[in-house]
Chains A and B, each alone.
Chain A
Amino acid sequence: MEISKFNNWFKEFGWRHLVALIFVVFAIYPILYVLTNSFADFANLTNSKLIPDSLTLKHYKLLSGNPLVPYSDWLFNTYKISIIAAFFNVFLGTLAAYAFSRLQFKGRRASLLTLVIVQMFPSFLAFVAIYLLFFQISDVIPIMGLGTHFGLILVYLGGSIGFNSWLIKGFMDTISPSLDEAAKVDGASEFQIFSKIIAPLTRPILIVIFVITFIGIYSDYILAAIFLKDKNLWTVAVGINTVFVDDFNADWGVIAASSVIAATPIAMLFIFFQKQITGGLTAGSVKG
């Protein structure tokens, strides 16, 4: 390449690649340790060597065929719970965000702030309260009691409004109100405006929130451990922590393998969803 062409490329794209690569190393290096540990015969996350001396597939084998370790059930449970909970989280959050963004009422900002602040309460002993509450729910409404996925999903919905709504609202605010007006002129109802116009336009942020909520839920251990006692109903977090973590030591090889297995689809998902997140947004909307 000619020097000037290279210079131009570098100024526009090249330096970005350089910076990105540096941070790729930063982001990935610890993860590489997890990856290589999943193939290590004597896995130890605090190893001094990146490439272990002896390699083995036994950790992956353990997770894929052992009747005592229903890992595929756990994976399925985790994804099922996380997807459903994240989806409804986003749905409820969007509903609330619409009200805060589009509907005029007194004390809008104050109430939204209150919701956000309420969510900040340190949940040090929250799990005890939830445990007690669900003891009672188990008697009265067994299908959503302790030991059910349904009940667990409901608890995760507690975080649906608050931060999520604020973020979505902020995004909605940038959508020009003239769109609403145009729709109203055409005779659309409030809900139709919401579902056919506003919500689709906020899709990028909805997806971001979905991903964040999804990851938060699938990494959750405490609440899931309270709810799920039947081995076949466990999530990956509960299963791994109960079966492979002991007083002093843990089976790091299996834990690493599990982390790799669980994280891969998320990365794939994110690659897939990127278009949705970064796609052109207000292009074509009426300029305010």
Chain B
Amino acid sequence: MTFIKSVFMYIQKGEYMKNNKSRFIVILLMLSMVAVACGGDTAEEVVETPEVTEAPQETLAAPATTAPPPEVIVVWAEEKVATALDPLVGAYEAAAGVDVEVVVYEFGAIRTDVQTAGPAGEGPDVFLGAHDWVGELAANGVIQPINLSSVSADLFEVGINAFSYDGMSYGFPYATEAIAMYYNADLTDGVPASWDDVKAACDAAGTELCVGAPGGGGGADAYHNHPFVASAGGYVFKISGGFDPNDVGLDNANALVSAEYLDSLVKDGVVASTDYGGSMSAFQEGRSLFWMTGPWARNDASAVNYNVGLIPAFGDSPATPFVGVRGAMVSSFSEKKLLAESFILDFFATVEVQEAMYNSDPRLPATKSLFAIVEAADPVAAAFAASASNGIPMPNIPEMGSVWGPFGDALLIIRDQAYGTNEETGVTVNSATDAMKLAAEQIRTAIAGG
């Protein structure tokens, strides 16, 4: 405050008028500097404006076509995908006369940066991301609908659905993944067909823990535990031409029955109270017979002699895991939307490219023809694919953001048997039913915009 006051006083008193001679020299000096800057500045300005030079004319017969400098397609992808994609784009660059710039981004950062950089004019043309981003990105107006009709014949339904929002398609699906059940092949022959038989299998094998699944041990994980609640008629959001945020099915009769069954499994010691790290080390060290997680863990699982089977069924209903789909999307702030779409549909979507991508970064293909190739060669991949075929895509609507917290917490309470009463609110959760009802309520209130 005092600084500002003294500045004012200083200017008022005109103290700067003293020492004229030295000031004069200084002002001269500064003016000359400024002149130099201005001179350099205008030269810079000329350089700054985009050049519209005529590139060397191609000598064709009849009218020559103008050849502007090569277009650049900017593609954002996460590390593993970028590494797989980078060597492949050379073919397209040569055939199309463009430059394809593949930029490596941390996966989560793609989702947020596309929305900050895009509107600021610094975003990508194409980016590779997860299908559950679509709702948020479409609602924010940052992605462009893509017409998939030319390639949809060879795509699985689940992939197409995953990228549909509000009746339009927003991405080309290229990989799907879902969890299944790893088992220790040295200790058992396979995964029992039904959860009722799992305990017997574990007793026979004599391991300390039976099924290690993330979502317990203080680490909430709704993604992994979805099958426990949603396989026999429960659901997060009802699917009716898209996901309906107004119909939450986590506390319908079927879901409650399933939740109580999970509770009994935990009480019987069938499902252990582990978080992701705990379930991983239990399986790696041979302390658990089964590990319920996804294809990304194959490397880690190879600490033991493992194999993969379907998650056991719940009575008559097969297990319904969440399916995650990866796809290529176009930013609505791209100035080369036609080019971006062509890049995806004409190049990225071809079986050759998809196969090369698979070889370098194996994920279950969303393309039928490639899938057939993979399935024949890799039985473990086939097992994951079979599991995914029973699954449903994670809801891609923005309201899903309100689900993970309450859903995960409710499952955590069941998995850790953390029932009790909250003295402050007076609410009691003494059973799985209570937990699920509470979660459904929390979700509904959040969505209603409380």
A and B touch in the complex (CB under 8 A): yes
> Which A residues have a C-beta under 8 Å from some C-beta of B?
41-42, 44-49, 68, 105-107, 111, 128, 131-132, 135, 225, 229, 231, 238, 241-243, 245-249
Given contacts A242-B104, A243-B79, A249-B300, contact A44 B122 (CB under 8 A): no
Contact with A along B113-153 (1 / 0, CB 8 A): 00011001010000000000000000000000000000000
Please give, as numbers and ranges, the residues of chain B lying within 8 Å of A248 by CB-CB distance: 214, 276, 293-294, 296-297
Closest chain-B Cβ to A134's Cβ sits at a distance in Å of 10
Closest chain-B Cβ to A33's Cβ sits at a distance in Å of 12
Q: Does B105 contact A (CB under 8 A)?
A: yes
Q: Does B58 contact A (CB under 8 A)?
A: no
Q: Is the CB of B284 within 8 A of A132?
A: no
Q: Is the CB of B79 within 8 A of A46?
A: no
Could you say which of A229, A247, A249 contacts B104, with CB atoms under 8 Å apart? A229
Given contacts A41-B303, A42-B303, A132-B116, contact A249 B285 (CB under 8 A): no
27 A-B residue contacts at CB 8 Å? Answer: A42-B300, A42-B302, A42-B303, A44-B280, A44-B284, A46-B278, A46-B280, A46-B281, A48-B281, A48-B285, A49-B285, A105-B2, A128-B116, A131-B117, A132-B120, A229-B104, A229-B105, A238-B106, A242-B78, A242-B79, A243-B79, A245-B106, A246-B107, A246-B296, A247-B107, A248-B214, A249-B276
Contact with A along B78-120 (1 / 0, CB 8 A): 1100010000000000000000000111110100000011001
Q: Is the CB of B83 within 8 A of A68?
A: yes
User: With A and B bound together, what is the CA distance between A243 and B106 in angstroms?
Assistant: 8
Closest chain-A Cβ to B112's Cβ sits at a distance in Å of 9
User: With A and B bound together, what is the CA distance between A225 and B214 in angstroms?
Assistant: 29
User: With A and B bound together, what is the CA distance between A249 and B103 in angstroms?
Assistant: 22
* Nearest-CB residue, chain B, relative to A222: B109
Size class of B's contact patch?
A: 20 to 34
Closest chain-B Cβ to A217's Cβ sits at a distance in Å of 19
> Which B residues have a C-beta under 8 Å from some C-beta of A?
1-3, 78-79, 83, 103-107, 109, 116-117, 120, 122, 214, 276-278, 280-281, 284-285, 293-294, 296-297, 300, 302-303
Given contacts A42-B300, A48-B281, contact A242 B106 (CB under 8 A): yes
Please give, as numbers and ranges, the residues of chain A lying within 8 Å of B296 by CB-CB distance: 246-249
User: With A and B bound together, what is the CA distance between A282 and B94 in angstroms?
Assistant: 71
Please give, as numbers and ranges, the residues of chain A lying within 8 Å of B107 by CB-CB distance: 246-247
* Nearest-CB residue, chain A, relative to B121: A135
A-B contact count (CB 8 A): 64
Please give, as numbers and ranges, the residues of chain B lying within 8 Å of A246 by CB-CB distance: 107, 296
Instruction: Give the residue among A48, A238, A249 with the most B Cβ atoms within 10 A.
Output: A249
Q: Is the CB of A229 within 8 A of B83?
A: no
Query: Interface residues of B: mostly helix, strand, loop or mixed?
Result: helix
Please give, as numbers and ranges, the residues of chain A lying within 8 Å of B284 by CB-CB distance: 42, 44
Nearest first, the 6 A-B pairs at minimum CB distance are: A46-B277, A42-B303, A242-B106, A106-B2, A107-B2, A243-B79
Please give, as numbers and ranges, the residues of chain B lying within 8 Å of A68 by CB-CB distance: 83
Closest chain-A Cβ to B43's Cβ sits at a distance in Å of 16
Could you say which of A107, A135, A242, A247 contacts B1, with CB atoms under 8 Å apart? A107
Closest chain-A Cβ to B403's Cβ sits at a distance in Å of 17
Q: Is the CB of B120 within 8 A of A135?
A: yes
User: With A and B bound together, what is the CA distance between A128 and B112 in angstroms?
Assistant: 10
Please give, as numbers and ranges, the residues of chain A lying within 8 Å of B281 by CB-CB distance: 44, 46-48
Given contacts A46-B278, A128-B116, A249-B276, contact A231 B104 (CB under 8 A): yes
Please give, as numbers and ranges, the residues of chain B lying within 8 Å of A46 by CB-CB distance: 277-278, 280-281
Please give, as numbers and ranges, the residues of chain A lying within 8 Å of B294 by CB-CB distance: 248
Closest chain-B Cβ to A135's Cβ sits at a distance in Å of 5
Please give, as numbers and ranges, the residues of chain B lying within 8 Å of A131 by CB-CB distance: 116-117
Given contacts A46-B278, A242-B79, A249-B276, contact A225 B293 (CB under 8 A): no
Please give, as numbers and ranges, the residues of chain A lying within 8 Å of B214 by CB-CB distance: 248
Closest chain-A Cβ to B127's Cβ sits at a distance in Å of 13
* Nearest-CB residue, chain B, relative to A110: B1
* Nearest-CB residue, chain A, relative to B278: A46
Closest chain-A Cβ to B39's Cβ sits at a distance in Å of 18
* Nearest-CB residue, chain A, relative to B275: A46
Given contacts A49-B285, A242-B104, contact A135 B122 (CB under 8 A): yes
Q: Is the CB of B2 within 8 A of A225?
A: no
* Nearest-CB residue, chain B, relative to A231: B104
Closest chain-A Cβ to B26's Cβ sits at a distance in Å of 20
Given contacts A44-B300, A131-B116, A229-B103, contact A249 B280 (CB under 8 A): yes
User: With A and B bound together, what is the CA distance between A238 and B109 in angstroms?
Assistant: 12
Could you say which of B2, B79, B277, B285 contacts A45, with CB atoms under 8 Å apart? B277
Closest chain-A Cβ to B125's Cβ sits at a distance in Å of 15
Q: Is the CB of A249 within 8 A of B116?
A: no
* Nearest-CB residue, chain A, relative to B277: A46
Given contacts A132-B120, A229-B104, contact A44 B277 (CB under 8 A): yes
User: With A and B bound together, what is the CA distance between A247 and B103 in angstroms?
Assistant: 19
Closest chain-A Cβ to B136's Cβ sits at a distance in Å of 16
Please give, as numbers and ranges, the residues of chain B lying within 8 Å of A48 by CB-CB distance: 281, 285
Please give, as numbers and ranges, the residues of chain A lying within 8 Å of B280 by CB-CB distance: 44, 46, 249
User: With A and B bound together, what is the CA distance between A225 and B117 in angstroms?
Assistant: 14
User: With A and B bound together, what is the CA distance between A225 and B1 in angstroms?
Assistant: 37
Could you say which of A44, A132, A241 contacts B106, with CB atoms under 8 Å apart? A241
User: With A and B bound together, what is the CA distance between A111 and B294 in angstroms?
Assistant: 56
User: With A and B bound together, what is the CA distance between A231 and B303 in angstroms?
Assistant: 31
User: With A and B bound together, what is the CA distance between A149 and B297 in angstroms?
Assistant: 36
Please give, as numbers and ranges, the residues of chain B lying within 8 Å of A135 by CB-CB distance: 117, 120, 122
Please give, as numbers and ranges, the residues of chain A lying within 8 Å of B105 by CB-CB distance: 229, 242
Please give, as numbers and ranges, the residues of chain B lying within 8 Å of A45 by CB-CB distance: 277
Please give, as numbers and ranges, the residues of chain B lying within 8 Å of A225 by CB-CB distance: 106, 109
